[in-house]
Amino acid sequence: MGNFVYIPIIALLCYTFLFLAFIAAKKNDIINAFLMILAALILWTGGSFCMRMQLWPSIKFWYDASILGLTLLPYAFFRFVYEFVGASGTFSKRLWLLLVIVTNAINISTGAFLRAPEVVFAGNGEVSFVYHTTWLVSVMFGVCAVIVLHMLFLLFKYSKTNDMTRKQFTPIISGIIILFIGHIIIMIPYFRGFPADILSGIFNAFFMFYALYKRRLFKLTLLVSRGSCYVIAAGLSFAIFFNLIRPLERFINVNFTIFADHIVLIIAFIFTIATFLIYYIMKRFIDRVFIREEIVQAENLKEFGFAVTRSLNVNEIMQELVDVIQKTISVKRVYICVLDVHSNCYEVAHSTSLLDVKSFRINKDNPIALWLANNNECLLMKDFRRTVDYKSMWETEKKQIADIDIECFVPLKDEDGMVGIVLLSGKEKGGHYSFNDISFLDSVNSIGSIAVKNSRLYEKAYLEARTDELTGLLNRKYFYEVIQTEYEKHKNNSLALVILNIDDFKLYNQLYGNKEGDIALQNIARIIQATVGNNGYVARYSGKEFAVILPLYDMLAAKNLAETIRKQILNMNKRESDYSLKMLTVSGGVCSIPYAANNVKQLIDNADMAIYNVKRNGKNAIMVYSAGEHHVTADEKELSEHKADIYSEYAPTIYALTAAIDTKDHYTFNHSKSVAYYATELAYAYGMNSDCVEIIREAALLHDIGKIGIPEQILNKPGKLTPEEYEIMKGHVENSIGIIRHLPSLDYVIPAVIHHHERYDGNGYPRRIAREDIPVSARILCIADSFDAMISMRSYKEPYSVATALKIIEEQAGLQFDPKLAFMFIELVNNGTIRIGEEEA
Looking at 464, 491, 513, which one is the last position of a domain?
464
Confidence of residue 841 (pLDDT cuts 50, 70, 90): very low
Q: Is residue 297 part of a domain?
A: no
Regarding predicted confidence, which is higher, 814 or 576? 814
pLDDT at position 653 is 67
CA dihedral 105, 110, 115, 118 (to 10 degrees): 130
Q: Of 576, 584, 578, give the one whose Cα is nearest residue 509.
A: 584
Q: What's the CA gap between 735 and 738, in Å, rounded?
A: 5
Q: What's the CA gap between 732 and 715, in Å, rounded?
A: 11
Q: What's the CA gap between 404 and 327, in Å, rounded?
A: 20
Q: What is the pLDDT of residues 313-354, one digit of tens each?
A: 777 888 888 888 888 887 888 999 888 877 788 988 888 887
- 209 plus 224 within the same structural domain: no
Bridging pattern class, strands 622-624 and 586-593: parallel
Confidence of residue 101 (pLDDT cuts 50, 70, 90): very high
Q: Name every residue whose Cβ is closer than 8 Å to that of residue 515 and which is 6 or more positions away in sequence.
A: none
- 789 plus 819 within the same structural domain: yes
pLDDT at position 690 is 78
> Which H or E run contains 374?
helix 367-375
Angle at which helices 802-811 and 776-791 cross, to 10°: 140
CA angle 565, 596, 830 (to 5 degrees): 150
- 225 plus 210 within the same structural domain: no
Looking at 627, 654, 680, which one is the last position of a domain?
627
Angle at which helices 819-830 and 666-686 cross, to 10°: 100
Q: What's the CA gap between 530 and 522, in Å, rounded?
A: 12
Q: Which of 37-51, 433-447, 639-653, 805-819 has the lowest mean pLDDT?
A: 639-653
- 285 plus 258 within the same structural domain: yes
Q: Is residue 301 part of a domain?
A: no
Q: Is residue 19 part of a domain?
A: yes
Neighbours of 401 (CB within 10 A): 20
Q: What's the CA gap between 147 and 97, in Å, rounded?
A: 10
Phi, psi of 589 (to 5 degrees): -120, 140
Q: What's the CA gap between 560 and 229, in Å, rounded?
A: 82
- 186 plus 66 within the same structural domain: yes
pLDDT at position 233 is 64
Q: What's the CA gap between 838 and 841, in Å, rounded?
A: 9
Whether residue 398 contacts residue 412, with contact meaning beta carbons closer than 8 Å, is answered with: no
pLDDT at position 182 is 77
Looking at 408, 431, 464, which one is the last position of a domain?
464
C-alpha atoms less than 13 angstroms from C-alpha of 135 in its C-beta half-sphere? 0
Which DSSP state fits 287? I
Query: What pTM does this model have?
Result: 0.46
Q: Name every residue whose Cβ is closer than 8 Å to that of residue 286 and which is 6 or more positions away in sequence.
A: 224, 229
- The mean per-residue pLDDT over the stretch 408-424 comes to 85
HEC per residue, 323-340: HHHHHHHCECCEEEEEEE
- 572 plus 448 within the same structural domain: no
- 122 plus 72 within the same structural domain: yes
pLDDT at 766 over 50: yes
- 387 plus 334 within the same structural domain: yes
> Which H or E run contains 521?
helix 514-532
- 510 plus 587 within the same structural domain: yes
pLDDT at 358 over 60: yes
Q: Is residue 633 part of a domain?
A: no
Which span out of 35-49, 62-76, 202-216, 564-578 was modeled with the highest average pLDDT? Answer: 62-76
Whether residue 679 contacts residue 784, with contact meaning beta carbons closer than 8 Å, is answered with: yes
- For residue 618, count CB atoms less than 10 angstroms from its CB and return exposed for 0-12, middle for 13-18, buried for 19 or more: exposed
pLDDT at 632 over 50: no
Whether a cis peptide bond, with omega within 30° of 0, leads into 247 is no
pLDDT at position 65 is 92
CATH code for the domain of 329:
3.30.450.40
Q: What's the CA gap between 556 and 437, in Å, rounded?
A: 61
DSSP string, 48-114: HHHHHTT-SS-HHHHHHHHHHHHHHHHHHHHHHHHHHTT---SHHHHHHHHHHHHHHHHHHHH--SB
Q: Is residue 634 part of a domain?
A: no
pLDDT at 77 over 50: yes
Confidence of residue 437 (pLDDT cuts 50, 70, 90): confident
- The mean per-residue pLDDT over the stretch 787-796 comes to 81
Q: Is residue 423 part of a domain?
A: yes
Q: Name every residue whose Cβ is closer than 8 Å to that of residue 517 and which is 6 or more positions away in sequence.
A: 505, 508, 509
Q: What is the pLDDT of residues 535-568, one digit of tens each?
A: 999 999 988 999 999 999 988 999 999 999 999 9
Q: Of 464, 466, 461, give the one whose Cα is nearest residue 478.
A: 466
CATH code for the domain of 488:
3.30.70.270
- 226 plus 125 within the same structural domain: no
Start-to-end CA distance of the chain, whole Å, equals 136
C-alpha atoms less than 13 angstroms from C-alpha of 52 in its C-beta half-sphere? 16
Q: What is the pLDDT of residues 703-733, one digit of tens each?
A: 777 777 777 767 667 767 777 777 777 777 7
pLDDT at position 639 is 34
pLDDT at position 95 is 92
Range of the domain at 445: 311-464
Look at the chain and report how many structural domains it folds into: 5
Beta bridge partners of 542: 545
Question: Mean pLDDT, the chain, as a whole number?
Answer: 79
CATH code for the domain of 151:
1.20.1070.10
Regarding predicted confidence, which is higher, 247 or 554? 554
Q: Is residue 758 part of a domain?
A: yes
Whether residue 163 contacts residue 386, with contact meaning beta carbons closer than 8 Å, is answered with: yes
pLDDT at position 540 is 93
Q: What's the CA gap between 278 and 284, in Å, rounded?
A: 10
Q: Is residue 469 part of a domain?
A: no
- The mean per-residue pLDDT over the stretch 364-393 comes to 87
Query: Starting from the edge strand earliest in sequence, which strands make up the sheet with 495-502, in order?
Result: 537-542, 545-551, 495-502, 586-593, 622-624
- The mean per-residue pLDDT over the stretch 196-207 comes to 76
pLDDT at 359 over 80: no
pLDDT at position 631 is 35
Q: Of 755, 762, 722, 761, give the one whose Cα is nearest residue 737.
A: 755
pLDDT at position 642 is 38
Q: Name every residue whose Cβ is closer than 8 Å to that of residue 653 and which is 6 or more positions away in sequence.
A: 743, 745, 746
Q: What's the CA gap between 406 and 800, in Å, rounded?
A: 89
Q: Of 134, 174, 140, 133, give the one whose Cα is nearest residue 155.
A: 174
Whether residue 78 contacts residue 96, with contact meaning beta carbons closer than 8 Å, is answered with: yes
- 186 plus 234 within the same structural domain: no
Whether residue 593 contacts residue 487, with contact meaning beta carbons closer than 8 Å, is answered with: yes
Q: Of 793, 574, 787, give the one whose Cα is nearest residue 677.
A: 787
Which span out of 265-279, 516-530, 602-616, 689-703 was modeled with the highest average pLDDT? Answer: 516-530
Q: Which of 337-351, 555-569, 636-650, 826-840 has the lowest mean pLDDT?
A: 636-650
Q: What is the pLDDT of residues 213-235, one digit of tens each?
A: 665 545 544 445 555 566 666 66
- 258 plus 203 within the same structural domain: no
- For residue 517, count CB atoms less than 10 angstroms from its CB and return exposed for 0-12, middle for 13-18, buried for 19 or more: buried
